[in-house]
Amino acid sequence: MNLVMEFAQPGTPDVLRNAERPVMPPAAGEVRIRQTMAGVNFVDIYHRSGLYPLPLPAVPGVEATGVVEAVAEDVTDLKVGDRVGYAGLPAGSYATVRTLPRGRVLRLGDDLPDEKVAGSLLRGLTAHMLLVTVGRVKAGDTVLIHAAAGGLGLILTRWAKRIGARTIGTVGSPEKAALARLHGLDHAIPYRETDFVDETLRLTGGRGVEFAIDGIGADTTARTLKVLRPFGTLANVGQVAGPVPAIEPAALNNRFFTRPSILALTQDREAYHAAAREWFALLRDGFEVPAGHTYALAEAATAHRDMEAGQTTGAVRLAIPG
* Greatest Cα-to-Cα distance within the chain, rounded to the nearest angstrom: 62
Predicted pLDDT at 88: 93
DSSP assignment letter at 34? E
Residue 110 pLDDT class (50, 70, 90 cuts) = confident
Question: Which stretch of 147-151, 164-168, 225-229 has the lowest confidence by average pLDDT?
Answer: 147-151
Predicted pLDDT at 298: 97
Chain-centroid distance, C-alpha 11: 22
Predicted pLDDT at 53: 95
Whether residue 158 is predicted with pLDDT greater than 90 in this model: the reply is yes
Nearest 10 degrees: CA dihedral of 202, 129, 125, 61?
90
Which residues are CB-contacts of 264 (< 8 A; sequence separation ≥ 6)?
none
- Mean pLDDT, the chain, whole residue set: 94
How far apart CA 119 and CA 227 sit, in angstroms, is 31
Entry pTM: 0.90
DSSP helix/strand/coil, 228: strand
Predicted pLDDT at 240: 82
Tens-digit pLDDT profile for residues 233-269: 999 998 888 888 888 899 999 999 999 999 899 999 9
How far apart CA 285 and CA 209 sit, in angstroms, is 29
Whether residue 313 is predicted with pLDDT greater than 80 in this model: the reply is no
DSSP helix/strand/coil, 29: coil
Task: Pick the closest to residue 64 from 83, 79, 77, 78 (CA basis).
Answer: 83
Q: What is the mean pLDDT of residues 174-178?
A: 94
Which residues are CB-contacts of 189 (< 8 A; sequence separation ≥ 6)?
168, 169, 170, 171, 196, 199, 200
Predicted pLDDT at 47: 97
How far apart CA 94 and CA 19 sit, in angstroms, is 11
| Contact indicator for 154, 313 with CB cutoff of 8 Å | yes
DSSP assignment letter at 166? E
Domains for the chain: give ranges and CATH numbers: 2-120+289-319 (3.90.180.10), 126-260 (3.40.50.720)
Distances (CA, A) of 41 to 202, 224, 306, 313: 33, 23, 12, 12
Residue 289 pLDDT class (50, 70, 90 cuts) = confident
